[in-house]
Amino acid sequence: MLTSIERVLFILMALALGGLAGAGFYGIYRIVRSGRSAPPRQNVLSNLIRAAIDVLLQKPMFRSRPVLSTFHAFIFFGFSFYFLVNVTDVLEGFIPGFELVYGGQNSSISLPAGLVNLFNLTADILSVLTLLGMIVFLVRRFLAHDRRLKFNDGVLLNPKVAKGWIGYDSLIVGVFILLHVGSRFLGQALRLAEYGQSDPFMPFASLTANLFTGLSEGGFTAAIHTTWWLALGLILLFLPYFVRSKHIHLMIAPINIGLGKQTPRGELDPATPPAAHTNGDEPADDEDPGARVLQDLSWPRMLDAYACIMCNRCNDVCPAHSQGLVLSPAAVEVNKRYLINEDFTALAFKGDRIDKPLTDVISPEAVWACTTCYACVRVCPVGNEPMADIVDIRRRMIIEGDELDSGIQTALESLAKNGNWFGKGSRGRSRWTKGLEFKVKDVTKEEAEYLWFVGDTASFDARVTPITQTVARVLKRAGVDFGILGRLERNSGNDVRRVGEEGLFEQLAEDNAAALGKGQFQKIVTTDPHSLNALRNEYGPFVESQWPVLHYTNLLLDLFQSGKLNVTHPLSHYRVTYHDPCYLGRYNGEFSAPRQLLELMGVELTEMPRNCENSYCCGAGGGQIWLGSTPAGERPAENRIREALATLAPPSNGDGNVIEPDDGQLLFVVTCPKDVIMYTDAVKTTGNEGKIEVRDMIQLVEEAIGGAMPEPEPETQSGGEA
C-alpha cells in the first residue's frame, strides 16, 4: 500500500524516534534505580504475572469510581488490542496487497477468514468504545470541569502543574488517542467504501463507510494514505513524548503493582535503607533515616511518580484533603514527576546527585496533616504509596530537628519520659483497675492465658476508662484468664513511628518487649487497633517469640460462639451503623468479627456507604490526636457522623435527618478507644446530641448479656492493681 518513499520515511522515523524513546526509557530506569534501596522483592515474576492479570481484569480500577472505571476499561481494552491492530496495519502498509477487510478474502496472502473476521469485529467494536471512552474523559475534564481533578487551595503544586500542565498533557494524550484510533477506524471505513460493499464483521466501519461513497479513486488513495499515517506515524511521533507524559502509566502501572509492597500493610518500611544495615543493626553513617531530597526516597517511591495517572482518586478518600487542608496525596506523586521532568537528563545520565528538595513536593504543613489512614494507598489503581513518602519526610524532619507542632512535641516528650502521652507517671497506668470489684493479674508475676495490652487511651483517658473497666468485667464474667503488664506497659509506639520518631518507637518497643518477655501468657488481646497493629506487624525485630495478637472483638465473638457468653437481652431496639477503625480494618483486615457480634446480639446494622476497606478515617491517627491546634474545616469525624445519620435516618426533602420515634435508638458503634473520644466529640460539635449516640462494642455486649457483673459487695471493694 505504501509508496517506497513512504516506507523509507516510516523506517527512518521508527529508528530515530524509537531510539529517542528507548533512551528515555533507559533514563527512567536509571532514575528509578537512583532511589535508595527498599526491602527486597520476592517472587518477582509471579507477582508481575499476577499484576498483569489484575490489570487485564481492571480490578485495581474498580476500587472506586465505577462509572468512570468502565469508560477507562473501554480505552484500556481498546488500546491494548491496538498493539495487535498496529502490527497488522504496518503489514498492510508494507506488504503489497495484504489487507484484512472482508475476512481477508481480497488479500494477496491467504488468511483464515474466521480468525480475521473475529479480529475485525473486535477491532471495530473496541475502536468505537475507545473513542467513546476518550470523549467521555475529555468532556469530563474540559467541559464538565470535574471538581475532583482540582486541588484544594494552598496545596503545594509544581509551578507547571499550577499553570495547568496536567490539563495540557491530558489534552495531548486525548487528542493523540482520538486521532490514532479515529484515523485507523476511518481508514478501514474508507477501504470498505472503496469496495462499495459493507462487511458484516465491521458493522461500525460499514456504517461510517456511507459517508465516503462517491469519493474519486484518487481521493480514496489519498485518504487511505493520510489515515494510515495519522494512525501509525503519529504513534512514532508520540513515543518520545510518552516518556515525559503521564500516559506512561499504561506501562509503569503493571510493573509498579507487580513490584509493590510485600510486607504487611501495617509494617512501615525501615527508616534507613535496608542495604545500609551492613553489619548488625547500626546503619552506615552516610545513610540518614528518612528523606530530605528526592533521591533519599527508595526506588519504589520513584517508580510511583511514573505510575501515577494523576486521577486524584487518592484525594477523594483522603480525610485531610476532604477537610480542605493543604495535604493532597496526589500532589505528592504529581510534583515528584514534574520535579524529575525538570532535570530528567541530569538525573538520569549525569550520575551525580542533584538534590531536589522534597519541600518542592509537599509543604511541611501538609506533611503534618496526614493521619496515616492508608486510604490513599488502598484506593490507588496503580499501586502508589504517597503515605510512605510522607512518613519518610517526617522521619528526616524529626532527626534533623525541624520545628515541630507543640502538641506533637509535648506528646513525644511525655512518651519518652513516661511511656504515655498523657503526661502521667507509669504508676498510674493501672489505676483504672482500682474501680473494679476484683484484682487484675499482673502477668509479670502470675501466669494468665491472655495478656491484655491496654494501651494509653484506654488506661488514662477518663472518658474511656469506664469502658475499659466494662471490658475487664465482661472478660471476668466469661471466665477469661487474663492479666496486664501494669506499670511496665508502654505506649506501643504505633503512632510514634508514624509521626516519624523512629528512635522513640524503638525505645518503646524495646521496653515493651522486655516487659512482655517477663510475662507468662499465651496470647495478646487488646481493645486498641493501633497497639494491635504495632504488636502484630512491627514488633518482630524486638521480641523473641511472636504471640497471636487478637482484637477484643475476636475474643468476644469466640466467647459467644463457645457459649461462655450468652445473649439474654437481644438488642433489637437499636438501629446501628458500624465504623471500621483504620488500623483494625484497612490495615489488618479485621472486618467480620464486629459485624458477627452485632448480628449475634440482634441489632439491626445498616452499613454506611464508606465501610470496610473503604472506611473513612476518624482523623486521630498518625499523631493527629496530639496536634496542638485544630485546623479549620469540617473535621473527618464530623463528616463521618453526618454520614452515619444520613445512613440511619436519610433526610427527606432537605428537611434534615428524619428520625421516627419508633425507629429505636440510633447508635454509632466503635471498636477503638480513640474513636470513643473522636466521635463523642463530633456528635456534640455537629449538634447531633440526642439523635445518635456513640457506643463502644463492649457496652452493647454488656447490655446483651444482661450486665457485666453483679453489683459489687461493699466488703469486696478493696480490689485494685497488684
Partner 1 sequence: MNIVVAIKHVPSTADELEINDEGVNLDFDEVDFTINEFDEQAIEQAVLVKEASGGEVTVIGVDVIEELDGVLHTALAKGADKAAKIVGDLEPPIDSHTQARWLADAIGGLTPDLVLTGVQAVDDLDGQIGPMLAAYLDLPYVGVVTGLSVSDGTATVHKEYAGGVMAEFEVNLPAVVGVQAAEKPPRYAPISKIRQMAKSADLEEYEADENVGDSGCEIRKMAKPVSAGHAEMLEGDAEEVAEKIIEILEERGLL
User: Which residues of the shown chain bind ligand SF4 in the complex (CB under 6 A)?
Assistant: 308-314, 317-320, 327, 329-330, 333, 370-376, 380, 382, 384, 386-387, 617
For the record, the C-alpha cell of 277 comes out as: 544495615
Q: Which of 293-301, 417-425, 568-576, 660-668 is the region at the interface with partner 1 (rule: CB under 8 A)? A: 417-425
Q: Which of 233-241, 376-384, 403-411, 585-593 is the region at the interface with partner 1 (rule: CB under 8 A)? A: 403-411
Q: How far is the CB of 175 from partner 1 (least distance, A)?
A: 51
Residue 219 interacting entry, from ligand SF4, partner 1, none, C-beta within 5 to 8 Å by type:
none
Residue 503 interacting entry, from partner 1, ligand SF4, none, C-beta within 5 to 8 Å by type:
partner 1
- Which of 41, 261, 277, 424 is close enough to bind partner 1 by CB under 8 A? 424
Give the whole-angstrom CA distance, residue 353 versus residue 639. Answer: 44
Q: Across the beta sheet with 604-605, what order do the strands follow?
A: 604-605, 574-578, 665-670, 692-696
Residue 525, classed as helix, strand or coil, is: strand
- Which of 406, 546, 568, 685 is close enough to bind partner 1 by CB under 8 A? 406
Residue 398 touching partner 1 (CB under 8 A): yes
Residue 270 interacting entry, from ligand SF4, partner 1, none, C-beta within 5 to 8 Å by type:
none
Q: How far is the CB of 546 from partner 1 (least distance, A)?
A: 24
648 φ, ψ (degrees, to nearest 5): -85, -30
In the block, cell 468512570 appears at: 68
Strand-pair category, 692-696 with 665-670: parallel
**Residue 246, exposed/middle/buried by CB under 10 A (0-12, 13-18, 19+)?**
buried
Give the whole-angstrom CA distance, residue 368 versus residue 524. Answer: 32
Q: How far is the CB of 364 from ligand SF4 (least distance, A)?
A: 14
**Residue 520, exposed/middle/buried by CB under 10 A (0-12, 13-18, 19+)?**
middle
Q: How far is the CB of 631 from partner 1 (least distance, A)?
A: 20
Residue 576, classed as helix, strand or coil, is: strand
Q: How far is the CB of 421 from ligand SF4 (least distance, A)?
A: 20
Q: How far is the CB of 277 from partner 1 (least distance, A)?
A: 14
Residue 404 interacting entry, from partner 1, ligand SF4, none, C-beta within 5 to 8 Å by type:
partner 1
Residue 592 touching partner 1 (CB under 8 A): no
For the record, the C-alpha cell of 640 comes out as: 463521618
Q: How far is the CB of 424 from partner 1 (least distance, A)?
A: 6
Residue 314 interacting entry, from partner 1, ligand SF4, none, C-beta within 5 to 8 Å by type:
ligand SF4
**679 within 8 A of 640, measured Cβ to Cβ:** yes
Q: Which H/E stretch holds residue 442?
A: strand 441-442
Q: Which of 498-506, 632-640, 665-673, 686-694 is the region at the interface with partner 1 (rule: CB under 8 A)? A: 498-506
For the record, the C-alpha cell of 649 comes out as: 435516618
CB count within 10 Å of CB 24 equals 20
Q: CA nearest 161: which of 40, 3, 287, 340?
A: 340
Q: How far is the CB of 689 from ligand SF4 (least distance, A)?
A: 28
Residue 313 interacting entry, from ligand SF4, partner 1, none, C-beta within 5 to 8 Å by type:
ligand SF4
Output 396 or 635, the one with its CB closest to partner 1: 396
Q: How far is the CB of 556 from ligand SF4 (least distance, A)?
A: 29
Output 27 or 428, the one with its CB closest to partner 1: 428
Output 52 or 416, the one with its CB closest to partner 1: 416
In 587-712, which ranges are E strands? 604-605, 665-670, 692-696
Q: CA nearest 238: which of 397, 20, 411?
A: 20
Q: How far is the CB of 379 from ligand SF4 (least distance, A)?
A: 6
Residues in the chain: 722
Output 413 or 447, the one with its CB closest to partner 1: 413
Strand-pair category, 665-670 with 574-578: parallel
Using CA atoms, how far residue 593 sits from 552, 578, 579, in Å, is 9, 12, 13
Residue 428 touching partner 1 (CB under 8 A): yes
Give the whole-angstrom CA distance, residue 527 versus residue 337. Answer: 41
Residue 375 interacting entry, from ligand SF4, partner 1, none, C-beta within 5 to 8 Å by type:
ligand SF4
Residue 215 interacting entry, from ligand SF4, partner 1, none, C-beta within 5 to 8 Å by type:
none
Q: How far is the CB of 162 from ligand SF4 (least distance, A)?
A: 16
Q: How far is the CB of 377 from ligand SF4 (least distance, A)?
A: 7
Residue 519 interacting entry, from ligand SF4, partner 1, none, C-beta within 5 to 8 Å by type:
none
DSSP tag of 526: E
Give the whole-angstrom CA distance, residue 645 versus residue 610. Answer: 13
Output 80 or 426, the one with its CB closest to partner 1: 426
Using CA atoms, how far residue 411 sits from 326, 419, 500, 542, 681, in Å, is 24, 10, 13, 23, 20
Q: How far is the CB of 320 from ligand SF4 (least distance, A)?
A: 5
CB within 8 Å of 718: residues ≥ 6 apart: none
Residue 380 interacting entry, from partner 1, ligand SF4, none, C-beta within 5 to 8 Å by type:
ligand SF4
Output 436 or 499, the one with its CB closest to ligand SF4: 499
Residue 101 interacting entry, from ligand SF4, partner 1, none, C-beta within 5 to 8 Å by type:
none
**450 within 8 A of 476, measured Cβ to Cβ:** no
Output 31 or 398, the one with its CB closest to partner 1: 398
- Type of residue at 673: P
Residue 409 touching partner 1 (CB under 8 A): yes
Output 503 or 633, the one with its CB closest to partner 1: 503
Output 331 or 556, the one with its CB closest to ligand SF4: 331
Residue 507 touching partner 1 (CB under 8 A): yes
**Residue 665, exposed/middle/buried by CB under 10 A (0-12, 13-18, 19+)?**
middle
Residue 423 touching partner 1 (CB under 8 A): yes
- Total residues contacting partner 1 by CB under 8 A comes to 26
Q: How far is the CB of 429 from partner 1 (least distance, A)?
A: 10
Output 387 or 601, the one with its CB closest to ligand SF4: 387
Residue 416 touching partner 1 (CB under 8 A): yes
Q: CA-CA-CA-CA torsion for 681, 683, 688, 692, nearest 10 degrees?
A: -140
Residue 399 touching partner 1 (CB under 8 A): yes
Q: How far is the CB of 272 from partner 1 (least distance, A)?
A: 10
CB count within 10 Å of CB 465 equals 20
- Which of 232, 504, 509, 603 is close enough to bind partner 1 by CB under 8 A? 504
Provide the CB-side half-sphere exposure for 579 (13 A, CA): 34
Q: What are 575's strand-pairing partners?
A: 604, 666
The mark string for 445-474 relative to partner 1 (x by CB under 8 A, - otherwise) is ---------------------x--------
**215 within 8 A of 196, measured Cβ to Cβ:** no
- Which of 502, 511, 528, 643 is close enough to bind partner 1 by CB under 8 A? 502
Give the whole-angstrom CA distance, residue 454 versus residue 456. Answer: 7
Site for partner 1 in 285-324 (CB under 8 A): 289
One-character DSSP codes across 453-501? ---HHHHH-TTTHHHHHHHHHHHHHTT--EEE-GGG-----HHHHHHT-
Residue 506 touching partner 1 (CB under 8 A): yes
Q: Which H/E stretch holds residue 551?
A: strand 549-551
Residue 259 interacting entry, from partner 1, ligand SF4, none, C-beta within 5 to 8 Å by type:
none
DSSP tag of 605: E
Strand-pair category, 482-484 with 549-551: unpaired
Residue 257, classed as helix, strand or coil, is: helix
**523 within 8 A of 450, measured Cβ to Cβ:** yes
Site for partner 1 in 51-90 (CB under 8 A): none
Contact residues toward partner 1 (CB under 8 A) are 289, 398-399, 401, 404, 406, 409, 412-414, 416-418, 423-428, 466, 501-504, 506-507
